[in-house]
């Protein structure tokens, strides 16, 4: 249930905090007092409205905060899915507008507005002044039938979406394969060229890295040889000034005196090791120079091979591995195109298989829907009779679509006859605005028994009704509020008299400005408000007595529910 709402700087409301009870909460007030601001503020917090229509000029900040209480496991699962903390069944949804930006939070966590809509859809159901117009659209009728079927139909609808996706993909592949024969031939030629070009290169993974290393060596051959010759002269130049000769001479000199001191002996050994290492180095250097080879033909071959590989990389992949993988994919496509008849036959079988699977699922969905519609029809008829449609007949008509869809193969429409002898006709062609509003209330009452939504809001559902019909509507709303919280804005005394908690929305002038305030009425104030609704401009004692009697009768009636 919606436990409270806190509104700051929304249209004429400067700041208000309203705490609601369970049962039937009624809001009344003069026309223009600001009743729509409250419902609008709730819509803004839940993401179905924007601050743009409500933020006063020069307001630094506007905000709406809703506090819900729920024991719904479905809601808790959604909180966990969105990584939102569970506060022992309390859910605080807030939305703040400041400096041109709005921020939404659930239990203190900043969340996208889409998450607010998703989670709040299982907390509250708002029936606005024009929502009954949705009854004019058959797609809403199908949604109601499915909602009434509940958990029984949900797994099948999920399977249907997956099967429809597989069917459309198979159909798309078949259509693509059956394209113009000339285009297919051109494609075969092009793919054949690509595969042959890659095959002709006879690539080996890692070859490019080896070639690049060899290319670097050959392209710098002269520089390398000049450096090696200089190093050879400095280390083993067949003279007395090269490094090898100098180290050898130093080693001989030190060895002659090494026997006189242990430290000198160690130094002599070290120098002898250096001489040995230098000899190894000069031999290795000489071997490298002797083995080093360069010729223009090899350089040209390496350079040409690298150019070929790099050209293929620009066309088919960033590495030899990617080029070969691309070649394999194109070969598979070429095989399909050259074995076209076999390929098409496989696609036809895949489409036929997925189509039969889809039809089977659609058939099961239709069966569930018809069963749901049968039960729903009886309940709606009874609910409408409770709302003073005494001779009503109601029917859910099914028609098969020409092609299956992700939602099955059914088109559903509601038909109704509200008078004896009147033929069954589509709902959208028969009912007036006031009748649609009542029909929607009847349907909402039936659907309320199938869902776990703890709060329902009705904004002026009494449009176009009066007298006995208004009394029936008030009784239906009171019955509905026995199972869940109902919040309703009304202009009718019959509905207001059923309130478990009655709130007055009033406009007052303060400092030359209009302000909207909301307060809960005490017992003696409720009668005065009912009298105001009944009496209009002048409230006489007779009107006040009638209001008192109406309230007593409503309380007695509720006690029997």
Q: Are 170 and 350 in contact (CB under 8 A)?
A: yes
Alpha-carbon distance of 373 to 365, in angstroms, equals 12
pLDDT one-digit tens code per residue, 502-537: 999 988 877 767 888 899 999 889 999 999 988 866
Name every residue whose Cβ is closer than 8 Å to that of residue 101 and which is 6 or more positions away in sequence: none
What is the reported pLDDT for 142?
A: 92
Q: Give tens-digit pLDDT for 356-391.
A: 999 999 999 999 999 999 999 999 999 898 888 888
* DSSP codes joined into one string, 84-145: ---BTTEEEEEEEEETTEEEEEETTEEE-HHHHHHHHTTTEEEE-TTGGGGGGSHHHHHHHH
**The token pair that represents 12 in the structure block:** 């004429």
Other C-beta atoms lying within 10 Å of the C-beta of residue 195: 17
CA–CA separation, 461 and 434 (whole Å) = 8
Q: What is the pLDDT of residue 220?
A: 79
CA angle 166, 340, 163 (to 5 degrees): 5
Domain ranges of the chain: 187-338
Please report the pLDDT score of residue 92 as a whole number.
95
Compute CA distances 273 → 246, 269, 277, 278, 376, whole Å.
14, 6, 6, 9, 102
Residue 116's beta-bridge partner residues?
A: none
Please name every residue paired with 502 in a beta bridge, in sequence order, or none if there are none: 26
Q: What is the pLDDT tens value at each position of the chain, 561 positions in all?
A: 999 999 998 888 888 999 999 999 999 988 777 778 888 899 899 988 888 878 887 788 899 999 999 988 889 999 999 999 989 889 999 999 988 889 999 999 999 999 999 999 888 888 765 566 667 778 889 989 998 998 899 999 999 999 999 999 999 888 887 776 667 788 889 999 999 999 999 998 888 888 888 888 788 777 878 787 888 787 877 666 777 778 887 888 788 887 777 888 888 888 888 888 888 888 888 888 877 777 778 788 888 888 898 999 999 998 999 999 999 999 998 888 888 778 788 889 999 999 999 999 999 999 999 999 999 999 999 989 888 888 899 999 999 999 999 999 999 999 999 888 888 888 877 766 667 778 888 888 888 777 778 898 888 777 777 788 888 888 888 888 888 899 999 889 999 999 999 999 988 877 767 888 899 999 889 999 999 988 866 788 888 899 899 999 988 888 877
pLDDT at 113: 92
């Amino acid at each position: 249930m919606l436990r409270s709402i806190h509104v700051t700087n929304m249209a004429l409301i400067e700041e208000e905090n309203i705490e609601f009870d369970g049962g039937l909460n009624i809001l009344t007030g003069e026309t223009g007092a600001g009743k729509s601001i409250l419902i609008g503020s709730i819509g803004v917090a839940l993401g179905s409205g924007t601050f743009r229509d409500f933020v006063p000029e020069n307001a630094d900040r506007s905000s709406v905060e809703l506090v819900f209480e729920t024991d719904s496991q479905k809601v808790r699962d959604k909180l966990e899915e969105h990584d939102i903390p569970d506060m022992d069944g309390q859910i605080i949804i807030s939305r703040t507008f400041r400096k041109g930006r709005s921020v939404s939070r659930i239990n203190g966590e900043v969340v996208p507005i889409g998450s607010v809509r998703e989670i709040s859809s299982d907390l509250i159901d708002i029936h606005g002044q024009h929502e009954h117009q949705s009854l004019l659209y058959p797609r809403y009728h199908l949604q109601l039938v499915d909602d009434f079927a509940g958990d029984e139909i949900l797994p099948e609808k999920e399977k249907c979406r997956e099967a429809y996706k597989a069917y459309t993909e198979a159909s798309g592949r078949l259509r693509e394969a059956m394209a113009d024969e000339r285009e297919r031939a051109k494609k075969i030629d092009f793919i054949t060229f690509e595969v042959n070009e890659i095959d002709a290169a006879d690539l080996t993974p890692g070859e490019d890295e080896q070639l690049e290393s060899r290319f670097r060596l050959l392209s710098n051959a002269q520089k390398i040889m000049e450096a090696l010759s200089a190093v050879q002269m400095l280390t083993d130049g067949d003279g007395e000034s090269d490094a090898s000769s100098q180290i050898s001479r130093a080693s001989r000199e030190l060895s002659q005196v090494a026997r006189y001191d242990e430290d000198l002996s160690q130094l002599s050994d070290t120098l002898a090791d250096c001489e040995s290492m230098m000899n190894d180095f000069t031999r290795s250097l000489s071997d490298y120079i002797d083995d080093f080879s360069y010729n223009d033909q090899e350089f040209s071959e390496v350079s040409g091979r690298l150019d070929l590989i790099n050209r293929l990389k620009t066309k088919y992949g960033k590495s030899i591995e990617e080029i070969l993988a691309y070649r394999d994919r194109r070969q598979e496509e070429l095989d399909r195109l050259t074995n076209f008849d076999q390929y098409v036959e496989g696609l036809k079988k895949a489409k036929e298989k997925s189509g039969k699977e889809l039809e089977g699922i659609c058939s099961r969905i239709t069966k569930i829907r018809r069963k749901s519609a049968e039960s729903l029809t009886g309940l709606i008829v009874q609910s409408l009779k409770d709302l003073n449609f005494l001779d009503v007949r109601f029917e859910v008509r099914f028609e098969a679509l020409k092609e299956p869809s992700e939602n099955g193969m059914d088109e559903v429409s509601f038909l109704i006859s509200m008078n004896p002898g009147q033929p069954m006709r589509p709902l959208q062609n028969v009912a007036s605005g006031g009748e649609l509003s009542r029909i929607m209330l009847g349907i909402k009452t039936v659907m309320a028994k199938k869902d776990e939504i703890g709060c329902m809001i009705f904004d002026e559902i009494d449009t176009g009704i009066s007298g006995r019909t208004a009394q029936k509507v008030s009784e239906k709303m009171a019955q509905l509020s026995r199972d869940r919280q109902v919040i309703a804005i009304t202009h009718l005394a019959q509905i207001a008299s059923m309130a478990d908690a009655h709130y007055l929305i009033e406009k007052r002038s303060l400092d030359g400005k209009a302000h909207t305030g909301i307060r809960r009425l005490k017992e003696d104030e409720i009668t005065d408000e009912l009298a105001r609704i009944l009496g209009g401009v002048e409230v006489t004692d007779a009107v006040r007595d009638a209001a008192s009697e109406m309230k007593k009768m409503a309380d007695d009636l509720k006690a029997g529910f």
